[in-house]
Structure 1
Amino acid sequence: MKKLGLLPLLFSLFLANVATADEVTPVRNGDGKVILLQGFHWNSSRNETETWYALLAHMAGQIGIDGFTAIWMPPPWKDTSSWVDSNSGTSGGGEGYFWRSFDKNSQYGTDEQLKTAATALNRAGVKVVYDVVPNHMDDTKGDVPLFPRGHGEWRHECDKCDDGDPFIDGNSDLNIKYASVFETFKKELINLRNNYGAMGLRFDFVRGYAPQNVDRWMNAFGNFQFCVGELWKGPSEYPADDWRSKASWQDALKDWSDRSRCTVFDFALKERMQNGSIAEWRHGLNANPDPAWRAAAVTFVDNHDTGYSPGRYGGQHHWPLPEELRNQAYAYILSSPGTPAVYWPDMYDWQRGELIRQLIKIRKDAGIKADSPIRFHTQYSGLVATTTGDRQSLVIALSSDLTKLPPGLTDPALIWDGGKIRLWSTAPEQPAVSVHFTCDYATTYPGQSVYAAGSTLELGAWDPGHAAPLTYNAQSKQWSGSIDVPAKQDIQWKCIVRNNDSSAAVRWQPGPNVSFTSGTASETRGTF
């Protein structure tokens, strides 16, 4: 056997160790089956009937029954800030995002009430995930005992002290690079784990500090525990010389996830929900063709910052999804890959709970996971997609003209909003395979094309208006194209000629249907 030199040997061992580490925890998304409830809203700290922690304690059993496996808790640290802007119709303070100390006696309730709530939730099978805010804090009332001024703990105390964006003007921004600041937070995160039932962490404003610091904190907190970061930063907000300024939302989100090894809120999907058509929801991080990208996505419709909240001024509502899309948005995130996060008011305040309960049950019954495969059937209007879980596949149609259905899709598992939401459960679909379709001797007139119409959704389920288009090759005088279809299916189809706008009569290939088994045959041919 050829001997390796010392340096090549060490390098090969290093690569082996890196590969092993990546295989163990590619991303900390729990078991990939987490269904997360955001357990508060912007005005929860001002709840009028009882403290929020007391409410969570007596709701714990119901939250578990409703199907949630984890709960995103509000920041646990004491926040005495307060502000009102009547001109803009907003107010706040006390939510924990401008905290003063690690004291757990906050506006959400007492230290003891927090422990009681956390214990009740964990016993109900709902893992407690705390919102932590390491980037900034309230320093407006004089010196801060945790981090005194003048020693390098704050962003403004030296040039380039911080490794992220400033919070507002940066004056209240902590310097996470400073060793004692990092260590102080590390000890507190371990305290939350050991004494307050923490089984996961949500990191606020992660644009303000390096993702590698999050990875280091999680190594200390628990390498296999769930974590998620809030990277709300579009490509246009990066400097011109930063590669992310010319990249997609997905690229920037996945880059942060790769370096932190935490999941990340799917603002790529949120942006399309806000600015695109329903068909464009397929461009979220959760629907990326690479399963590792899907595994990193935490999908959501709204949260305490983006959406409305019960109570004064309706909360923050910086980027709320219009009401007419909210049911469809929940149907999508709960039937597709990623880790879905449900906003408390949508579940328990605004009469959307029954829909969400049914969707969670359907998701669990199908065995949908964060990295489950998803395929989109783009020949239909709206959004039509198939997500394949461990036990079943789910076909969802949102605001779609999908009418003719292949076998197995005759009885919807759910119909909502007058048919704007339709969801079917069927046998697990095999991974897609590409099959080359060819039509011989097809005669067309201007404005006409040749299509493959057949028994699967990809071929229009025998609906000529949604058949798969083929491309003409002038040299061979054939119409052909490669189409992805589920593997190991007995598929029947025919060539058709129709107008490109689906109008007028359809001319079908004569004779019996063409039959083949996908995965066994890679080519199939029809003849006029």
Structure 2
Amino acid sequence: MKRYLRLAGLVLALTPLAYPYGSLLEAAEAAGKSPNGVRYHGGDEIILQGFHWNVVRTAPNNWYSTLAGMAPSIAADGFSAIWMPVPWRDFSSWSDSSNGTSGGGEGYFWHDFNKNGRYGSDSLLKQAASALNGAGVKPIYDVVPNHMNRGYPDKEINLPAGQGLWRNDCADPGNYPNDCDDGDRFVGGDADLNTGHPQNQAMFQQEFANLRNNYGGAGLRFDFVRGYAGERVDSWMGQAHDDGFCVGELWKAPGEYPSWDWRNGASWQQILKDWSDRAKCTIFDFALKERMQNGSVSDWRHGLNGNPDPRWREVAVTFVDNHDTGYSPGPNGGQHHWPLPDHLLKRAYAYILASPGMPVVYWSHMYDWGYGDFIRQLIQIRRAAGIKADSAIQFHAGFSGLVATVSGSQQQLLIALDSNLEGPGQVASGDFSQALTSDNGQVRIWRTGTGTGTGSGGDGDLVSVNFRCDNGVTQPGDSVYAVGNSSELGNWSPAAAVLLSDTSGYPTWRGAISLPAQQALEWKCIIRNESNPTQVKSWQPGANNSLTSAAGASTSGSF
């Protein structure tokens, strides 16, 4: 949310499930925490922000239907998670006659926990969550525990005045340590909830569990975390969704802290990591965003995701723009409080999708403004290389722009942005090939072969592995495919999945696929339209199938 603004927020998503959510959700979230206890879902998410600021005006009351209909395409494009809008009602409205602008209803002055809001109805939300989970895209709900629309009558949540439930009822000398809350006021504070009050804390804990159990939630995106303590988020997650994904939005520059606060003289990275340590959640990489806005391309190395310590990289959720910072289709162009200049957009997406951290792609960049094909290519490159949040990154000096080598589990990537680097041989050994070039050579990525990712470049011997998918009941025009985390299995892109053509034992589907030997792989069965690869009808539920490739090995999954 904008540092000073009165309305704002964000949203996310994550893996393949279907109603009922209980046991399947737990199975899919087995990798929930990092070795350092951070709730990061294995650090391999690629997240789509599933809305923009003007959705409540451009698609009033029907956005959930849009998400449900696009679920197969979102999965086919390579996203494993989706940041959902705030699911609660918001009856707020505002207008500024001086410039003719107006808004309201985006969710950030929420009214109560009723799900019949301006994005759609309760039932449409459940349908969208089911469709997304069924396609293998995990919903992460945007939540606002700090503030609400205090002045609107007839709230389902009864918060009597004068009992400390409202932050505004507390004496405030100007800074939070002497206040009854544990964070900043939202704007003037008249809409603030006292998150420290036991009733409020329990109320949100119950609702967070409800989003998990009844609305397919795989995690939470916490809005305006400058308004409440990281420890409170850790407590909520521990009680309601301990293995879920969580990310905080801490948009607060060091100079905004009081002079006596240690953070006033700290770096953006230090402030973000401190909150993450206390919340045990990931954090939006505003250190990187600040350098994108105010530094040169070479300065992008100073984001949280470029920190030399993997414990810092693993908590970074990287982004280029979102509903708060960037433009949106529709009235007034949305909020656009900190938009990245257009000429840097491809460079920025190439960097976040080829480097450590967990990248978030803004809906409008992906589906409204023509960057979709470029982003799809980058997602495939990232998946094929096996880049994760804590992957190693090495920056190379002596060149213009930014030059970095990133080591994934399968391949190494060499990134050159605005650089005079002539080729991989100047900075790395091994057999690199061009993976992407764009913007007249200002965006270039090379990669090694599909071996161990150490830079040796060998593809290794290919072996034939037997794949089987059981209970693959299909309609005419559909077939069963195998899709997984290697280039031979489509890098989780259904459009590049491998057809299992042996139907002699229908509804069991079989096929032999050639794979590099001794690779640890994960995969799933999907039912997909034969002529339109974006039309995925069903994903295999539950956890991914796993195998180590070897000659004659067999692996199976089931719908």
TM-score normalized by structure 2?
0.71
Matched, 1:100 2:111: yes
Cα distance in 2, alignment partners of residues 221 and 236 from structure 1: 34
Which secondary structure state, in structure 2, belongs to the residue aligned with residue 358 of structure 1?
helix
For residues 281-360 of structure 1, the aligned pairs below 5 Å read 281-360=300-379
Cα distance in 2, alignment partners of residues 104 and 90 from structure 1: 27
Cα distance in 2, alignment partners of residues 319 and 187 from structure 1: 35
Which secondary structure state, in structure 2, belongs to the residue aligned with residue 72 of structure 1?
strand
Cα gap change, 1:172 to 1:49, in 2 (>3 Å): closer
**Residue of 268, 274, 295 corresponding to 1:249:** 268
Cα gap change, 1:23 to 1:29, in 2 (>3 Å): closer
Matching residue of 1:54: 65
Cα distance in 1, alignment partners of residues 203 and 272 from structure 2: 27
Shift of 1:50: 7.1
* Contact 1:36/1:69, CA 8 A, preserved across alignment: yes
Matching residue of 2:40: 29
**Residue of 88, 96, 115 corresponding to 1:85:** 96
Matching residue of 2:382: 363
For residues 20-169 of structure 1, the aligned pairs below 5 Å read 26-48=37-59, 51-85=62-96, 87-88=98-99, 90-142=101-153, 144-146=155-157, 147-159=159-171, 160-169=179-188
**Residue of 210, 233, 236 corresponding to 2:229:** 210
Cα distance in 1, alignment partners of residues 82 and 238 from structure 2: 21
For residues 434-445 of structure 1, the aligned pairs below 5 Å read none
Cα gap change, 1:49 to 1:182, in 2 (>3 Å): closer
* Contact 2:33/2:40, CA 8 A, preserved across alignment: no
Matched, 1:183 2:183: no
* Contact 2:36/2:311, CA 8 A, preserved across alignment: no
Cα gap change, 1:412 to 1:258, in 2 (>3 Å): same
Matching residue of 1:423: 445
List runs of 5+ in structure 2 lacking aligned partners.
Answer: 1-31, 172-178, 456-559
* Contact 1:395/1:424, CA 8 A, preserved across alignment: yes
Shift of 1:309: 0.2
Matched, 1:194 2:205: no
Cα distance in 2, alignment partners of residues 392 and 399 from structure 1: 23
* Contact 1:249/1:268, CA 8 A, preserved across alignment: yes
- Name which one, 1 or 2, has greater alpha-carbon Rg: 1
- Shifted more, 92-101 versus 200-209: the winner is 92-101
Which secondary structure state, in structure 1, belongs to the residue aligned with residue 48 of structure 2?
strand
Q: Deviations over 1:18-40 (max 9, x none)?
A: xxx99755211111100010000
Matched, 1:226 2:237: no
* Contact 2:385/2:413, CA 8 A, preserved across alignment: yes
Cα distance in 1, alignment partners of residues 41 and 103 from structure 2: 32
Q: Deviations over 1:465-516 (max 9, x none)?
A: xxxxxxxxxxxxxxxxxxxxxxxxxxxxxxxxxxxxxxxxxxxxxxxxxxxx
C-alpha RMSD of matched pairs (Å): 1.7
Q: Deviations over 1:259-286 (max 9, x none)?
A: 0000000000000000000000000000
Q: Deviations over 1:296-337 (max 9, x none)?
A: 000000010000000000000000000000010000000000
Which secondary structure state, in structure 2, belongs to the residue aligned with residue 419 of structure 1?
coil
Matching residue of 1:413: 435
Which secondary structure state, in structure 2, belongs to the residue aligned with residue 264 of structure 1?
strand
* Contact 1:154/1:161, CA 8 A, preserved across alignment: no
Shift of 1:85: 2.5
* Contact 1:33/1:339, CA 8 A, preserved across alignment: yes
Which secondary structure state, in structure 1, belongs to the residue aligned with residue 388 of structure 2?
coil
Aligned-partner residue type, residue 411 of structure 1:
S
Matching residue of 1:275: 294
For residues 361-400 of structure 1, the aligned pairs below 5 Å read 361-400=380-419
* Contact 1:76/1:104, CA 8 A, preserved across alignment: yes
* Contact 1:90/1:316, CA 8 A, preserved across alignment: no
Aligned-partner residue type, residue 124 of structure 1:
A
Matching residue of 1:458: none
Cα gap change, 1:59 to 1:382, in 2 (>3 Å): same
Cα gap change, 1:88 to 1:242, in 2 (>3 Å): farther
Matching residue of 2:463: none
Which secondary structure state, in structure 2, belongs to the residue aligned with residue 334 of structure 1?
helix
Cα distance in 2, alignment partners of residues 384 and 246 from structure 1: 29
Shift of 1:426: 1.1
Cα gap change, 1:178 to 1:50, in 2 (>3 Å): closer
Cα distance in 1, alignment partners of residues 121 and 148 from structure 2: 20
Which secondary structure state, in structure 1, belongs to the residue aligned with residue 354 of structure 2?
coil
* Contact 2:433/2:448, CA 8 A, preserved across alignment: no
* Contact 1:57/1:121, CA 8 A, preserved across alignment: yes
* Contact 1:409/1:424, CA 8 A, preserved across alignment: no
Matching residue of 1:14: none
Cα distance in 1, alignment partners of residues 184 and 422 from structure 2: 50
TM-score normalized by structure 1?
0.76
* Contact 1:250/1:285, CA 8 A, preserved across alignment: yes
Cα distance in 1, alignment partners of residues 100 and 348 from structure 2: 27
* Contact 2:33/2:41, CA 8 A, preserved across alignment: no
Cα distance in 1, alignment partners of residues 167 and 296 from structure 2: 41
Matching residue of 1:526: none
Q: Deviations over 1:82-102 (max 9, x none)?
A: 122254564321110011111
For residues 452-467 of structure 1, the aligned pairs below 5 Å read none
Cα gap change, 1:410 to 1:256, in 2 (>3 Å): closer
Aligned-partner residue type, residue 185 of structure 1:
F
Shift of 1:157: 1.6
Pick 1 or 2: higher relative contact order, CA cutoff 8 A, min separation 6: 2
Which secondary structure state, in structure 1, belongs to the residue aligned with residue 329 of structure 2?
coil
Cα gap change, 1:23 to 1:226, in 2 (>3 Å): closer
Aligned-partner residue type, residue 446 of structure 2:
W
Shift of 1:430: 4.7
- Identity among equivalent positions (%) equals 60
List runs of 5+ in structure 1 lacking aligned partners.
Answer: 1-20, 432-528
Aligned-partner residue type, residue 363 of structure 2:
W
Shift of 1:184: 0.4
